[in-house]
């Protein structure tokens, strides 16, 4: 079961990485075109700034989700590292559970916000604002799945008493 969960989260994170890369490329291209048009041709695209803003939001949130999978977020480990391996794993487990609680709140709040903004149309791009606010619950869901995967492996590590867990 753990290997299946890990494969599923790996696939989801691969999709997120492709999306993040695509969004960054779109952001760079749209801003480059906007700068060239504005300063060379004295013409501005009305939608380019909005598109870049939305690409940055999606990139940030999906990037954060991918970072959870790879344990790439910044962490203060000076206290945790003083404990023996088993205690360190329990400390990591508790921190992941706290993080999971926060992500549940973010997910629920994100869904409420998306529902609230469905009728609103973006002034920059003629689309519902829900598409842009959806970055929050979508990323929270990916983070939640990554945390479940991570917590399962931490519990397995604690139970097996093989305390060679690396990272945060």
Domain hosting residue 45, numbered range: 2-160
* 165 part of a folded domain: no
pTM of the model: 0.84
Question: Mind listing the pLDDT tens digit for each residue in 94-146?
Answer: 989 999 999 999 999 999 999 999 999 988 788 899 999 999 999 999 999 99
pLDDT at 163 over 60: no
* 146 part of a folded domain: yes
pLDDT at residue 97, as a whole number: 94
HEC profile for the chain? CHHHHHHHHHHHHHHHHHHHHHHHHHHHHHHHHHHHHHHHCCCCCCCHHHHHHHHHHHHHHHHHHHHHHCCCCCCCCCCHHHCCHHHHHHHHHHHHHHHHHHHHHHHHHHHHHHHHHCCCECCCCCCECHHHHCHHHHHHHHHHHHHHHHHHHHHHHHHHCCCCCCCC
Number of compact structural domains in the chain = 1
* 26 part of a folded domain: yes
pLDDT at 165 over 50: no
* 168 part of a folded domain: no
């Amino acid at each position: 079961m753990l290997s299946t969960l890990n494969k599923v989260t790996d696939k989801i994170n691969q999709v997120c990485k492709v999306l993040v890369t695509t969004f960054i490329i779109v952001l760079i291209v749209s801003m480059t075109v906007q700068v060239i048009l504005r300063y060379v041709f004295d013409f501005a695209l009305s939608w380019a700034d909005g598109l870049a803003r939305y690409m940055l939001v999606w990139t940030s949130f999906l990037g954060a989700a991918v970072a959870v999978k790879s344990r790439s977020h910044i962490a203060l480990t000076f206290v945790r590292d003083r404990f023996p391996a088993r205690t360190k794993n329990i400390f990591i487990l508790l921190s992941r559970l706290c993080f999971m609680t926060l992500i549940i709140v973010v997910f629920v709040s994100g869904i409420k916000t998306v529902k609230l903004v469905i009728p609103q149309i973006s002034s920059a791009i003629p689309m519902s604002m829900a598409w842009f606010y959806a970055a929050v619950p979508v990323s929270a869901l990916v983070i939640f799945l990554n945390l479940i995967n991570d917590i399962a492996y931490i519990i397995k590590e604690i139970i097996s008493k093989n305390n060679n867990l690396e990272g945060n």
